[in-house]
């Protein structure tokens, strides 16, 4: 278990994954990074038509679990894509119009971006506040009024650098905020879901496990859980877990405000019981609970009813696949920079490592 024990290595892995360019539909840079990381630790790697990377690690205790047909198959899914921007028009004055379907417009003003595979730097511009009159000056700028400025003065200048249909992401470098072993926090972009990708890389480099493990790095989660659906069809697992970076809103709030945070930083892996995409399989939840107890690990439960993950798409494939999600709490997901606690990330690796050693057909019966 190199990564779960070595916080510096885990932080460095997360840094490389976080800084990789991978808006939905453009996951190649992340995929190549993942491939280089895991290829020596797995039995085979496939990339499907949509761009999902499926890494297969055969069960290492074959005798205990029988032949390959009888061995328990587990799919762990982590999505490679991050929220992003698509260039829709190059304007006469050299600015770029864009669409950013999964980003809150209030997050956009004045943010730095990189555009396309060549990482052309840009900034999100808006009408100057001083020149706005009346109501307009106090309102959040409508995202249709925003544009990307790459420093070009006209259409021709911009055209040389970017094209309509190019994608962009926030430009945020990874920073370790604290190396206090009790509270090792880090800041970076795309922790949703490069935190899950880091956990999955660590698990594939660990083992061997008694089960056949399919580590699937999925595409296009942020635009509708798309890659996971076809990957689950191919893998046909007996159980599946989405490894995620999830909502965390644990910041101080007024004392009389009666609301429990969705998750808390530092409280360990967050297990999904129910969200907008699935109700977790009870046997799988029980297995996670028993495993955490046996390992003396703290876990938390994501507040129900919020968001959705790849497990939502996976559990509806074929005749139904027992599934849930296990996530690393991340403050400010879908924004230019999130914050997580590396202890939650390493605990997620340890919990899933122990779960892979216990899981079997008895956990997925009804």
Q: What is the binding site for Zn ion (CB under 5 A)?
A: 192-193, 244
Q: Which is nearer to Zn ion, 124 or 197 (CB)?
A: 197
d(CA 235, CA 76): 11
Token pair in block for residue 83: 């929220």
Question: What span, in angstroms and rounded, lies between the C-alpha atoms of 171 and 149?
Answer: 14
Q: How far is the CB of 191 from Zn ion (least distance, A)?
A: 9
Q: DSSP letter at 221? A: -
Of 180, 147, 122, give the one whose Cα is nearest residue 343: 180
Q: Which CB atom, from 27 or from 244, has the smaller least distance to Zn ion?
A: 244
Closer residue to Zn ion (CB): 141 or 223? 223
Enumerate the active-site residues.
221
Hey, what are 49's tokens? 């038509």
d(CA 252, CA 180): 21
Measured CA distances, 364 to 26, 235, 265, 360 (Å): 35, 17, 30, 7
The pair of three-digit structure tokens given for residue 263, joined into one six-digit string = 């998750």
Residues in the chain: 366
Q: Compare residues 37 and 192 and give the one whose CB is closer to Zn ion.
A: 192
- Which residues contact residue 348 at a Cβ distance below 8 angstroms, ignoring those fewer than 6 apart? 195, 199, 243, 269, 326, 327, 328
CB of 118 to Zn ion, least distance (A): 26
* Distance of alpha carbon 277 from alpha carbon 273, whole angstroms: 11
Of 87 and 325, the one with the shorter C-beta distance to Zn ion is 325
Q: How far apart are CA 75 and CA 339, in angstroms?
A: 27
Beta bridge pairs of residue 89? 97
| Nearest distance, CB of residue 315 and Zn ion, angstroms | 16
Q: How far is the CB of 301 from Zn ion (least distance, A)?
A: 17
**CB of 89 vs Zn ion, minimal distance in Å:** 29
Rounded distance between C-alpha atoms, residue 215 and residue 241, angstroms = 10
Q: Minimum CB separation from Zn ion for residue 314, in Å?
A: 14
**Distance between CA atoms of residues 159 and 30, nearest Å:** 26
Select 100 or 152, whichever has its Cβ closest to Zn ion: 100
Q: What is the CA radius of gyration of the chain?
A: 21
């Amino acid at each position: 278990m190199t990564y779960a024990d070595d916080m510096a290595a885990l932080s460095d892995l997360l840094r490389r994954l976080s800084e990789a360019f991978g808006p939905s539909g453009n996951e190649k840079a992340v995929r190549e990074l993942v491939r280089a990381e895991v290829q020596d630790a797995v039995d085979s790697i496939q990339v499907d038509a949509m761009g999902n990377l499926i890494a297969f690690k055969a069960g290492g205790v074959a005798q205990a679990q029988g032949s390959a047909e009888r061995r328990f198959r587990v799919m762990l899914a982590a999505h490679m894509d991050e929220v992003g921007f698509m260039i829709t028009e190059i304007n006469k004055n050299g600015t770029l119009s864009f669409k950013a379907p999964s980003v809150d417009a209030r997050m956009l003003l004045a943010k730095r971006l990189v555009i396309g595979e060549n990482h052309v730097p840009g900034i999100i511009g808006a009408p100057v506040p001083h020149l706005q009159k009346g109501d307009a000056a106090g309102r959040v700028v409508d995202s249709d009024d925003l544009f990307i400025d790459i420093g070009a003065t006209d259409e021709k200048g911009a055209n040389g650098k970017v094209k309509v249909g190019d994608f962009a992401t926030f430009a945020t470098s990874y920073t370790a905020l604290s190396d206090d072993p009790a509270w090792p926090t880090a800041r970076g972009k795309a922790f949703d879901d490069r935190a899950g990708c880091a956990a999955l890389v660590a698990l594939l480099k660990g083992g061997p496990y008694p089960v056949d493990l399919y580590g699937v790095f999925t595409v296009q989660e942020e635009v509708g859980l798309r890659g996971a659906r076809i990957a689950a069809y191919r893998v046909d697992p007996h159980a599946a877990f989405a490894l995620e970076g999830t909502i965390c809103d644990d910041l101080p709030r007024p004392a009389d405000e009666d609301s429990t945070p969705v998750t808390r930083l530092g409280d360990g892996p967050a297990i999904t019981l129910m969200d907008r995409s699935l109700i977790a399989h009870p046997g799988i939840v029980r297995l996670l609970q028993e495993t955490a107890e046996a390992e003396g690990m703290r876990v938390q439960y994501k507040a129900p009813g919020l968001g959705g993950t790849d497990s939502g798409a996976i559990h509806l494939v074929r005749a139904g696949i027992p599934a849930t999600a296990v996530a690393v709490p991340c403050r400010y997901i879908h924004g230019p920079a999130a914050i997580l606690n590396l202890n939650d990330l390493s605990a997620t690796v340890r919990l899933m490592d122990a779960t892979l050693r216990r899981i079997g057909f008895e956990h997925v019966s009804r």
